[in-house]
Structure 1
Amino acid sequence: MSQTDDKWNDGSISSGSNVSYWIDSTSILAFQNPDQDITTEVLIIGGGIAGLTTAYKLLKAGKKVVLVDDGVIGSGETGRTTAHLSCALDDRYYYLEDTFGKDGAKLAAESHSAAIDEIENIVQTLNIDCSFKRVNGYLFLHPSDKIENLEKEFNATQNAGIDTAFLKETPTINGGESMPCIVFNNQAQFHVLQYLKGVADAVIALGGTIYTEARAEKITKDGAEVNGYNFSAEHIVVATNSPINDTFTMHTKQAAYRSYVIAGKVPKGKLPNSLWWDTGDLNSKWVSQPYHYVRLENFDDEYDLLISGGEDHKTGQADEEGISEFERYERLESWTRNYFPVLEDIAYRWSGQIMEPVDGLGYMGKNPGDDNIYIITGDSGNGMTHATIGAMIISDAIIGIKNKWEELYSPSRISLKSIGDFAKETANMASQYLDWVKASDLKNTADLNAGEGGVLSSGLKKIAVYRDYDNTLHAFSAVCPHLGCIVQWNTNEKSFDCPCHGSRFASDGTVMNGPAKTDLSPIHVKLFHKNIK
Structure 2
Amino acid sequence: MKNAAEKLNEGSITSGENVSFWIDTTEIASFKTPDRDIHTEVLIIGGGIAGLTTAYNLLKAGKKVVLVEDGFIGSGETGRTTAHLTSALDDRYYFLEDTFGKEAAKLAAESHTAAIAEIEKNVTDLNIDCSFKRVNGYLFLHPTDKEKNLEKEFEAAQNAGLNIGLLKSTPAISNGEQTPCLAFYNQAQFHILHYLNGLAQAITALGGEIYIEAHAEKISKNGAIVNNYNFTAESIVVATNSPINDLVTMHTKQAAYRSYVIAGKIPKGSLPYALWWDTGDAESKWPSQPYHYVRVENFDDNYDLLISGGEDHKTGQADEEGISEFTRYEKLEQWTRSYFPLFEETIYKWSGQVMEPVDSLGFMGLNPGDENIYIITGDSGNGMTHATIGARIICDAITGNKNKWEDLYSPSRITVKTGFDFAKEAVNTAAQYLDWVSASDLENTAELQAGQGGIMTSNLKKVAVYRDFDNTLRAFSAVCPHLGCIVQWNNDEKSFDCPCHGSRFAADGTVINGPADSDLKPLPIK
TM superposition score category, shorter chain reference: over 0.9
Q: Are 2:363 and 1:341 equivalent residues in the alignment?
A: no
Q: Distance in 1 between matches of 2:230 and 2:188?
A: 41
Cα distance in 2 for partners of 1:238, 1:11 equals: 25
Distance in 1 between the 2:228 and 2:401 partners? 34
CA distance in 2, matches of 1:415, 1:378: 14
Partner of 2:428: 428
Is the Cα contact below 8 Å between 2:132 and 2:189 reproduced in 1?
Answer: yes
- Kept after mapping to 2: 8 A contact 1:5/1:28: no
Residue 228 of structure 2 aligns with an amino acid whose one-letter code is: G
Describe the SS at the equivalent of 1:67: strand
Q: Deviations over 1:174-230 (max 9, x none)?
A: 011001000000000000000000000000000000000000111111111110111
**Paired residues, what number?**
526
Distance 1:255 1:384 in 2: 18
Residue 457 of structure 1: aligned partner: 457
Q: Deviations over 1:125-161 (max 9, x none)?
A: 0000000000000000000000011100000000000
CA distance in 2, matches of 1:132, 1:401: 30
**Aligned positions of 1:152-231 closer than 5 A:** 152-231=152-231
With normalisation by structure 2, the TM-score equals 0.99
Structure 1 CA distance for aligned equivalents of residues 301 and 452 of structure 2: 38
String of CA shifts for 1:410-460, please: whole Å, max 9, x gaps. Answer: 000000010100000000001111111111011221121111100001121
Distance 1:173-1:301 versus aligned 2 partners, 3 A rule: same
Provide the residue aligned with 1:531 in structure 2.
none
What SS is found at the alignment partner of 1:241? coil
The C-alpha deviation readout for 1:18-38, integer Å capped at 9, x for no partner, is: 000000000112310000111
What amino acid is the match of 2:79?
A: G
Correspondence 1:404 to 2:404: yes
Specify the alignment match of 2:140 in structure 1: 140
Q: Percent identity?
A: 75
One-letter code aligned to 1:497? D
Conservation of the 8 A alpha-carbon contact between 1:488 and 1:496? yes
Asked if structure 1 preserves the Cα contact closer than 8 Å seen for 2:464 and 2:478, the reply is yes
Structure-2 change in CA distance of 1:177 and 1:368 (3 Å): same
Confirm or deny that 1:468 pairs with 2:460: no
Question: Counterparts of 1:118-129 in structure 2 under 5 Å?
Answer: 118-129=118-129
Distance 2:423 2:287 in 1: 10
Look up the match of 2:281. Answer: 281
SS at match of 1:112: helix
Report matched runs for 1:304-323 at 5 Å. Answer: 304-323=304-323
Cα shift at 1:467: 0.6
* CA distance in structure 1 between the aligned counterparts of 2:80 and 2:5, rounded to whole angstroms: 16
State the match for 1:50 in structure 2: 50
Find the counterpart in structure 2 of residue 530 from structure 1.
none
- Asked if the contact 1:298/1:305 (under 8 Å) is kept, the reply is yes
1:352 maps to 2:346: no
* Cα distance in 1 between the residues matched to 2:454 and 2:150: 43
**Contact kept in structure 1, 2:505 and 2:513, CA below 8 Å:** yes
Residue correspondence of structure 1 range 54-133 to structure 2 within 5 A? 54-133=54-133
- SS of 1:409's partner is coil
Q: Aligned residue for 2:21? A: 21
Q: Secondary structure at the match of 2:471?
A: coil
Q: Offset of 1:318 from its aligned partner?
A: 0.2
Aligned residue in 2 for 1:379: 379
Corresponding letter in the other structure for 1:100: F
Q: Which runs of 5+ in 2 are unaligned?
A: none
The equivalent residue for 1:524 is 524
- Equivalent position of 1:239 in the other structure: 239
Distance 2:265 2:411 in 1: 41
SS of the aligned residue for 1:240 comes to: coil
Runs of 4 or more above 4 Å deviation: 1-7, 9-12
Which structure 1 segments of 5+ residues have no match?
527-533
Residue type matched to 2:440 in 1?
Answer: S
Which one is further off, 42-51 or 8-17?
8-17
